[in-house]
Amino acid sequence: MAVYDEFAGRHRIRAGAVIKARQNRIIFELGMAHCLAQERRVLDIGPGDGQIASLSHAAYLPYVAVEGSSAVTEMLRERGLEVHEGYVPPLPTGVAGRFSTCFLLHVLEHMPDHRAASQLFLQVHDTLLPSGTFVVACPDFARWGSDFYDCDYSHCFPLTRRRLNQIALDHGFEIVHITIYCGPVFGVIGLPLSWGARMSYPRFVDGIIGAHIPKDAANRGMLTFLPNLLMVARRRLAPT
C-alpha cells in the first residue's frame, strides 16, 4: 500500500518542524517521567520522522518501531533504526520482548473502528512491563470538527477526552496524565493559540484561496495550532 508515501517525501516547513520537535521532546519526557518500570525499552508505533527514535538514542534506550508505510520504513532503516513494517493491529510478529514505554503518536485516529482500536490497546497492554507507560496523542475531535476528516483521508476514528479515557480504562490502564497541546504550548493556556489560528485562516477563506496556496502551507500552519489530546496511561500492576 502507498499510504504515507506522500508524507515521506513532503516538504517540511521549518517553523512547523521546530514546533514538532518541541512537542516530541515534551511528550517523550512525560512518558519517561511517569514510567515506573525498572528496565527501559521503547516501542514506537508510527514513528513518523523518527524524533522519538532520536530522543531514545540520546537517552541510551533500546528502541523498536512499527511503521505501515514502506517508504517511511525504508527512510528510517537507512538511519540504522530497528523498524518492523506492518499496519496495526496486530503488532508484527517480529516485535519481541517487553517494553517499558510505548508511544502511539497520531496513529489511533487512523484505526478503522473501535474494535481495531480496542485490539491495539489490548496488544500494547500485553507487551508493556507492569507500571510501563502508554503515551497516546491524537486530534481532539471535539475541537477539530470537520478538519479532522478534511486534513487526512485516512482519519477514521475520532477521539475526545472522554472516549480516550474510556478505552484506556477498559484495557487495564490507569490514566496518570491527560492534557491538550496547541502548537508548542501544552495545557489549556494554549487554547488562545488555536482560536487565533482559526480566526487568521477561517474555513471560508480556505474555500476561496486554499487550492492556490503552494504546498497547502496556510492550512497546514493552521492545523498545527489546533488542540491535540495527550494521554499518559500506565499499565496496572497485576493483583497479588
Is residue 21 in a domain? yes
Q: Which residues of the chain have pLDDT under 70?
A: 1-12, 238-240
Residue 240 lies in a domain: no
pLDDT at 9: 59
In a domain, 149, yes or no: yes
Q: 189: domain range?
A: 5-235
Q: Domain count of the chain?
A: 1
Position 80 in a domain: yes
CATH number of domain containing 225: 3.40.50.150
- Cell 515521506 found at: 8
Which pLDDT belongs to residue 240?
40
How many CA atoms, within 13 angstroms, populate the side-chain half-sphere of residue 67? 25
Q: 72-118 pLDDT, tens per residue?
A: 899 899 999 999 999 999 999 888 889 999 999 999 999 999 999 99
* pLDDT at position 15: 79
Q: Would you state the pLDDT for residue 10? A: 61
